[in-house]
Structure 1
Amino acid sequence: MSTTQSERLRELLEPLVGSQGLDLEEIAVDSVGRKRVLRVVVDSDTGADLDQIADVSRALSAKLDETDAMGEGEYTLEVGTPGAERLLTEHRHYVRATGRLARFQLTEGGELVARILGVDDEGVELEVPGVKGRKATARRLAFPEIARARVQVEFNRKDEKSEKKEEEA
């Protein structure tokens, strides 16, 4: 997809996504055989439910149908949310990942897996899990120290809602 088409699609679709209370995170056009697939990734601070995805999908489809932004050929529109192991590229992504475990690639080299405790304009406050029975330690990373960060899936961590329900029982 050319930069021009990407920018044009973003300019066209971003206001519609915003009007639905969501952020436009990503746009990608892929060729699948003779067809093209327009993938639109949306999110918000509270996540996006299926009804919101359906509403924004209908709005985007209608807007695309009334323009020539995708050209003359057939295409399929897919609207979804970021995956479970989302890449953290914007300040708002770090804020949304507060409380989650993330893998950080450091600009100085090396890697760190830690839980995001807080985020401000300069960086993130982290809790680095202890190894072999040691206590977790606090660490701060400034954004320039982070080359890349990605949320990690945790299968055995109880979320706060589950813990509160068990305490009440």
Structure 2
Amino acid sequence: MKNEAQQVTDLIRTPLSQEGLIVEDVKAHAAGQYRKVTVVIDLDTDTSDPVSLDTIAQATKIVSELIDDVELFNDKPYDLEVTSPGATRELTEKRHFLRNRGRNLDVRTNGPAYTGELVDVTDQGITLVDSKKVDYVIPFSDITKAKVVLRFR
């Protein structure tokens, strides 16, 4: 039998895709009497628009309707959380970088580390411009870790 997370993923991936959403992750957690299903969604677009609260609410309704009749956690009650990845998630796929063009990134490689504005994304990698206006072209294959640098005003 499939585990709860995979079962939920299989049920919701296509319906959410039809709404322009990507299922980033599904986690099912049980500890004692506490059980929770967390679904992380993102927009299926390369714009930097955030996932709105209205979109989260609509996705929550869809997910809830799809999994209400499914036996999860041996049919015991659980909480459902539908959320976006958040600003501090690790960027691991090309589409993550596309959604963050214009933002400052901290990029680690096996060699040097780079911090700068993400100005371009290609099939091969990314281009960052640092504070001294120096361009760095970094292949995806060299990136070991990348995150958005949050700026507080």
The TM-score with structure 1 as length reference comes to 0.80
The answer for the alignment partner of 1:56 in structure 2 is 59
Q: Which structure shows the bigger proportion of residues in helix conformation? A: 1
Find the residue that maps to 2:6 and give its secondary structure.
helix
Query: Would you say the 8 A contact 2:129–2:135 is kept in 1?
Result: yes
The answer for the alignment partner of 1:40 in structure 2 is 39
Task: Give the Cα–Cα distance (whole angstroms) in 2 for the partners of residues 32 and 104 of structure 1.
Answer: 36
Q: 2:142 aligns with which of 140, 145, 150?
A: 145
Unaligned runs of 5+ in 2: none
- Deviation, 1:15, is 1.1
Task: Give the Cα–Cα distance (whole angstroms) in 1 for the partners of residues 34 and 62 of structure 2.
Answer: 21
Q: Which amino acid aligns with 1:142?
A: P
Number of matched pairs: 149
Q: 1:78 aligns with which of 74, 78, 81?
A: 81
The TM-score with structure 2 as length reference comes to 0.87
- Deviation, 1:141, is 0.2
Task: Give the Cα–Cα distance (whole angstroms) in 2 for the partners of residues 37 and 6 of structure 1.
Answer: 10
Identity %: 28
Task: Give the Cα–Cα distance (whole angstroms) in 1 for the partners of residues 111 and 32 of structure 2.
Answer: 40
The answer for the alignment partner of 1:163 in structure 2 is none
Q: Which amino acid aligns with 1:117?
A: V
Query: Would you say the 8 A contact 2:39–2:83 is kept in 1?
Result: yes
- Deviation, 1:71, is 3.6
Greater relative contact order (Cα < 8 A, sep 6+): 2
Larger Rg: 1
Unaligned runs of 5+ in 1: 131-135, 157-169
